[in-house]
Amino acid sequence: MFHGVMTALVTPFRKGQIDEEAFRAHIERQIEGGVDALVPAGTTGEAATLTYDEHKRVIRICVEQAAGRVPVIAGTGSNNTAESIELTAAARELGADAALLISPYYVKPTQEGIYLHYKAVAEAVHLPLILYNVPGRTASNMEPETVGRLSHIGNIVGIKDATANMEQLTKTMLAAEERLEFYSGDDATVVPFMAAGGGGVISVVSNIVPQAMAELCEAMRLGRIAEARRMQQRMQRLNTLMFVQSNPIPVKAACAMLGWCADELRLPLTSLPAAECARLAAAMREFGLAPQTAG
């Protein structure tokens, strides 16, 4: 259903409020860069610190600005199943094409709890849903057998796998029996992920290099593996520095250096320290970008 590079969008803030002008410009930049879909209000978009009304506003702005040119996959995850249902229903009403749901974080549910969480959302809201397995954020791992069970639910169409574990990826693909699409949640391993059968990446680094990541995914889709491998290697330093501190701290700093938004995050997130900003700016220049500040 979805493929290629799907950018996990940052949410620009200014003086504590959503910077709608900067957000709309960022969406345009992504579409012009050739991305295949947009993912607002996810981890990279600081969804955990958005109010419910702000969460809906971010989705609404994205849907409006995309205007049908690319799909919008709204982040609607929560560690509260009822809240996730409410957000997913709102995303459907706002015109999102699909929703990305994270496994419940902090509460550390059992595999049965994870299964029932996703099942409840899928049964409550008729919208294509993408599961999201990111143990580093949730403190729980969605086992292949659990994904296999969920793959039988009709409107669960895919999974974002951020484990960077190729063995688990293969086991999960086998458990799903081709009923799901698989998307990498790790920019550094797009080539092996797609070589294993993945359909693309929900990307952080594409916030600043959308065209480069789009070209990498297209090269993999066309079987130009050597070319894609060179692209992945060229992007390696940027990918590493995007996660030198918790996402979205580095990518928000990078966007600010490019003059696209303020380097403003909501507590408890804090700005990238000056030394790390200098390293990031150097890597951006090496890649051909032109940061206006730092380093």
Which residues participate in catalysis according to the annotation?
132, 160
Helix (H) or strand (E) holding 22: helix 20-32
Of 199, 201, 290, 198, the C-alpha closest to 239 is: 201
Cα gap 87→63, rounded to integer Å: 15
Of 138, 181, 145, the C-alpha closest to 163 is: 138
What are the CA-CA distances from residue 197 to residues 166, 175, 201, 224, 266 (Å)?
Answer: 11, 14, 12, 14, 37
Cα gap 266→228, rounded to integer Å: 36
The number of beta carbons lying within 10 Å of the beta carbon of residue 34 is 18
Strands, DSSP E only, in the chain? Answer: 4-8, 13-14, 17-18, 37-39, 73-75, 98-102, 129-133, 156-161, 181-184, 200-203
Residue 156 β-bridge partners: 129
